A and B are shown apart, each in its own frame.
Chain A
Amino acid sequence: MTIRDEHLRQALQHAPDRLSAPHENTSRAVLSYARQTLEKEQRVWWQSCMMWLKKPLVSNWQRAGVGGLATALVVMLIFWQMAPEKATWPDAFPEHAFNTDKNNAVALMKDKNAAELNAPLMRRKARATGAPAQEQTMATQPGHVIGQGEHQSIALDHSSPATNEIASAPISAPAVVAGANDSSGAMSSANQARGSGSQKTEAASAELSEAKPVKKDAVLDIMQLLDSIKNEGGQTVAARDISLSKLRMLKLDMSTTKQENSAPCLQMATVDASPDMETGYPVLMVSICDSSMQLINGVAEYNQQMQDYWYRQLQKKNNER
């Protein structure tokens, strides 16, 4: 419906202001505003993060937190992408390693040079913990085979005060605890993971089970730890370890899984020469036969939980300051 007056419309079209337009600056301002709005919208997420970090309201500890997380991510990526070392088990684990000597030794030093390099640190650690001089001597001797009776000194179980100290401080000596079969139930899954295994391994296991008293040694602990991680999940196990002050990081070495059937598939645990870069917790290198995703994910969860705990402690300390 229209109620138009044609003559008035004509008059309006011929009005002197018919060609009037906004000032050039006004038009420029409108177009510029529209452009800026669109650019702001299209800003990628990381630019937004940078903008957030630049805000004066963002405090230093928030920046530190973001930085810490970024560092942790980078470290994790580095470890993730590190190719597993080519397995050299026959050399690293000569047959005599399975023979029980008078102390039922089943482990040997993996890297003699590393032991020499880390000897001063180990001595300092021993002094701090008041460890017996004999252990100091043994620890500094390259190639020293750690026997069954000595496992407590490098035990990864932190439940006892002595071992707690070792666990909470970076352990420098590359002590190697070779995995051996045990007739106890806790070892059954490890045996299964090992698959058919070789006759040599079985023989060694038999010898060990005869010679070794049923003792909760480090190897057994590791086996149980891996079993627990696999069954209960990394987070649960890590939470339990934290409550027991067992602070450590796990690192899986899956090179053993690539062993041929003829070669023995050995479980082995090594305390890494250098502690975790971020947390400072000792790194427990575990060579495994079981490379299931369940276990790998579980270990990742375990480590994450440990990192989170460390970060929370760090924040707590900062707040106290």
Chain B
Amino acid sequence: MGESITTDEDLMRKFCAGDMRAFELLYQRHERPIYRYIRRLMGGAFNAQADDVFQDVWIRLIDARLQWQPRENASFKTWLYTLAHHRTIDILRKSGREVSVDEGWLDDEPGSPWQSWPAAHALEPEQQVFWRKAGQRLLHCLDGLPAMQRAAFLLHHEDGLSVDEMRLVLNAEFEAIKSRLRYALFKLRACMGAYLPPMVD
């Protein structure tokens, strides 16, 4: 059986049984996504603390490994993101940063940004430059979102968690999650301006 088809749950089970190699694979698999999530959720101002939080999350995971039970609706990934999310929010709260659902510095930018989207007409090499700039702009826009909306957006767009999984990670109701996502998208689209195509629907 190849390593690539071993599920996270199998690896975690092996790790709980004392297999260090299984943990190494698990770590390798989730190292970057989790780090990115923590880093982006913390925002540009707290990037320096991302490593500490990241380490703390994994240490908590190792310590709590015996309490972990594979469930039907909660994968290992969900559990890991739950640990990472709560730890990051804790740090943000302790740092004095506002962690509210609705408030953020981002305001709807005036004008209609959809009219001047250049990417669709860009040439291939230029497309790369365009998306890179778009990404940079998006990170800037994310910093302006409230932490909970930012978390909802990141989990759904970057890490591919479904709304059901997000309910577990964010410990919120289904409707609350959807609402946060919609708010986040609305604000981000407005912030992205020229880097987005016109709305189709």
Contacts and interface: CB of A to CB of B under 8 A. Distances in A.
> Are A and B genuine complex partners?
yes
Interface of A: 1-5, 7-23, 26-27, 29-31, 33-35, 37-38, 41-42
22 contacts: A1-B162, A1-B163, A2-B156, A7-B134, A8-B157, A8-B192, A8-B196, A10-B134, A11-B134, A12-B154, A12-B158, A13-B131, A14-B128, A14-B134, A16-B135, A20-B35, A20-B36, A22-B50, A30-B58, A31-B27, A34-B23, A35-B20
Contacts of B31: 21-22, 27
Nearest to B137: A11
B85 interface: no
A21 B35 CA distance: 6
A37 to B, nearest CB: 6
Interface string B94-117: 000000000000000000000000
A3 B62 contact: no
B189 A5 contact: yes
Nearest to A23: B51
B18 A42 contact: yes
A319 B43 CA distance: 64
Contacts of A19: 32
Contact of A15 (B63, B128, B136, B156): B136
A86 B32 CA distance: 76
A273 to B, nearest CB: 54
B92 interface: no
Contacts, number: 115
Interface string B188-201: 11001001110000
Nearest to B182: A3
Interface of B: 15, 18, 20, 23-24, 27, 31-32, 35-36, 39-40, 50-51, 54-55, 58-59, 62-63, 128, 131-132, 134-139, 153-154, 156-158, 162-164, 178, 181-182, 185, 188-189, 192, 195-197
B135 A38 contact: no
A34 B61 CA distance: 10
A35 B27 CA distance: 13
Contacts of A23: 51
Nearest to B23: A34
Contacts of A12: 135, 138, 154, 157-158
Contacts of B136: 15-16
Nearest to A41: B18
| B interface: dominant SS | helix
| A interface: dominant SS | helix
A11 B35 contact: no
A208 B100 CA distance: 105
Contact of A22 (B20, B55, B196, B197): B55
A10 to B, nearest CB: 6
B7 to A, nearest CB: 19
Contacts of B20: 34-35, 38
Contacts of A9: 157-158
A260 to B, nearest CB: 58
Contacts of A31: 23-24, 27
Given A21-B32, A22-B31, A11 B138 contact: yes
A88 B197 CA distance: 110
Nearest to B139: A15
A22 B162 contact: no
A30 B59 contact: yes
Given A22-B35, A34-B27, 18 more contacts: A1-B162, A1-B164, A2-B156, A3-B182, A4-B157, A5-B157, A5-B188, A5-B189, A7-B196, A8-B189, A11-B192, A11-B195, A15-B136, A16-B132, A18-B135, A22-B50, A22-B55, A31-B23
A27 to B, nearest CB: 7
Contacts of B134: 7, 10-11, 14
A81 B175 CA distance: 76
B149 to A, nearest CB: 12
Contact of B132 (A7, A14, A29, A34): A14
A27 B59 CA distance: 11
A33 B62 CA distance: 8
Contact of B54 (A2, A3, A22): A22
B181 A3 contact: yes
4 tightest A-B CB contacts, nearest first: A15-B135, A14-B131, A11-B134, A14-B135
Given A3-B182, A12-B157, A12-B158, A26 B135 contact: no
